[in-house]
Amino acid sequence: MHNLAGHSIVVVDDDTSFFPVYESVLEKYDCSLSLFLSASAALKELSTGPTPTLLIVDHLLTEMSGQDFLEELKTLRADIFEKTFILGFSGSNASSQLLDSFKNWIHAYAQKPNDLSVLMALMKQYTDKCGISLKTRRS
């Protein structure tokens, strides 16, 4: 197992109220965390930047849907889909054709967490599967 330190996590979410959650949970693991409010800004960065270890995408973004974002990303960087774990989030728990279609583009889906324990459980499930240790800087 290796530590999450040095890994890159990219979050694409137009709901800034979740940014403190992402920061408080993920930054303590000494990883590179990039937060994007807009899909276009994330696409610009991901088109030339390093391949992230984890990509967290909101289902309904302001500019486009999460699926539209992923479709466009795949045309720019198909390699990301081979090397990156993609976690989809949504504030809705209602099933819809659009949401079901989005789930076909991601590795895991969760309703946006109401507290840190849900996000931590998802992170632990992902990191355990990948053999990455969730050791904090203080561990």
Task: Assign residue 79 the CATH number of its domain.
Answer: 3.40.50.2300
Element (DSSP H or E) covering residue 45: helix 39-48
Cβ atoms of residues 37 and 13 within 8 Å: yes
Q: What is the pLDDT of residue 39?
A: 96
Q: What is the pLDDT of residue 120?
A: 66
Q: What is the pLDDT of residue 76?
A: 96
Would you say residue 139 lies in a domain? no
Q: Coil, helix or strand for 19? A: helix
Exposed / middle / buried, residue 129 (Cβ in 10 Å: 0-12, 13-18, 19+): exposed
Would you say residue 59 lies in a domain? yes
Taking only the tens of pLDDT, the chain with its 139 residues reads 345 667 788 999 988 887 877 777 676 667 788 999 999 999 999 999 899 988 999 988 889 999 999 999 999 999 999 988 898 888 766 667 888 888 888 887 877 765 556 666 766 776 666 665 555 443 3
Q: Which domain holds residue 66?
A: 2-133
pTM: 0.80
Inter-axis angle of helices 39-48 and 66-76, nearest 10: 20
Would you say residue 138 lies in a domain? no
Would you say residue 93 lies in a domain? yes
DSSP 70: H
